[in-house]
Amino acid sequence: MREQLANALLSGDDIATRDLTATLLEQGESPVGILEDILLPTIRKAGDLWEEGELFIPELLQASAALKAGLEVIKPLLPASSESMRGTIIVGTIQGDIHDIGKTLVAGMLESAGHRVVDLGADVSPQSFVGAAQREAAQLICISALLTTTMLNQESVVTERNNAALQGRVGILVGGAPVTREWADRIGAEGYAPDAFRAVQEAARLLAIVQ
């Protein structure tokens, strides 16, 4: 049954994911167990399968929708402590860059994972990122960059955030194909994830720090 749920999620079958999650709950599995032992590891695997050339954009978007369907079943049952791990997250692609496929995947995954996501779209200025974080009382800003040139602008968001005295209160998570952990460290971004699936875990880690 657990394996069936994992397969349903990976194949992007939202109805089966929802139903199997409900069945497992009826059989006495704990909501936290389903989330942490089945749903999250499986969705991380989707990231690996993309790297390997097993899953592609249509499948990734479907898997994200399936995760959402499964989480809707267990969300009301999760303990309040894990509820407080959810936050408001600003997501966008950096100024000068119109690549938005990866960014949209990240926004979808974070939303599926239960966060309130404000998607600013692509070509977003550092001022808009930080302005939106203030307006929405967000705890996290996620910045995508697909061009080696625009990646450099991610640093301006960190500067802008620090100038607004939000360091320690609003975390910054960067990603996109040319972005690396080293780059994140160098510009003072608190988080980095190589794919939308690991972004969920990394976002949770950062939310724990800023709250």
Partner 1 sequence: MSSILLLDGAMGSMLLSAGLETGGMPDLWNITQPGIVQSVHQAYRDAGADIITTNTFGANPARLKANGLDPSITTKINQEAVRLAREAAGHSQVAGDIGPTGMLLEPVGPLRKEDALVSFRVQAEALAAGDVDLLLLETFFSLDEALLALQAVKEVCAIPVWVSLTFRKTRRGFFTIHGDKPLESLRVLLGHGVQKAGANCTLSSADMKILAKELCQQLGDRVFLQPNAGEPRVVDRTIIYPESPAEFAGNMLDMVASGAEAVGGCCGTTPDHIRELHDALQGRHT
The answer to whether 43 touches 35, Cβ cutoff 8 Å, is: no
Q: Bridge partners of 175?
A: 144
| In the complex, least distance from residue 79 CB atom to partner 1, rounded to whole angstroms | 36
Sign of CA dihedral 164, 168, 169, 174: positive
Residue at token pair 């061009």: 147
Q: State which of positions 26-65 bind ligand B12 (CB under 6 A).
A: 47, 50
Query: Taking CB within 5 to 8 Å according to partner kind, which of ligand B12, partner 1, none is near residue 59?
Result: partner 1
| In the complex, least distance from residue 160 CB atom to ligand B12, rounded to whole angstroms | 16
Q: How many chain residues touch ligand B12 (CB under 6 A)?
A: 29
Give yes or no for residue 148 binding ligand B12 (CB under 6 A): yes
Of residues 15, 22, 77, 177, which one binds ligand B12 by CB under 6 A?
177
Residue at token pair 């167990």: 33
Distances (CA, A) of 91 to 2, 77, 124, 145, 196: 32, 27, 10, 11, 12
Query: Taking CB within 5 to 8 Å according to partner kind, which of ligand B12, partner 1, none is near residue 142?
Result: ligand B12
Whichever of 148 and 211 has its CB closer to partner 1, that residue is 148
Give yes or no for residue 97 binding ligand B12 (CB under 6 A): yes
Phi/psi at 179 (5° precision) = -80, 140
Whichever of 14 and 195 has its CB closer to ligand B12, that residue is 195
Give yes or no for residue 152 binding partner 1 (CB under 8 A): yes
Alpha helices per DSSP H over 53-195: 57-74, 80-83, 101-112, 126-135, 148-151, 154-163, 181-187
Footprint of ligand B12 (CB under 6 A): 47, 50, 96-103, 105-106, 142-144, 146-149, 173-178, 193, 195-196, 199
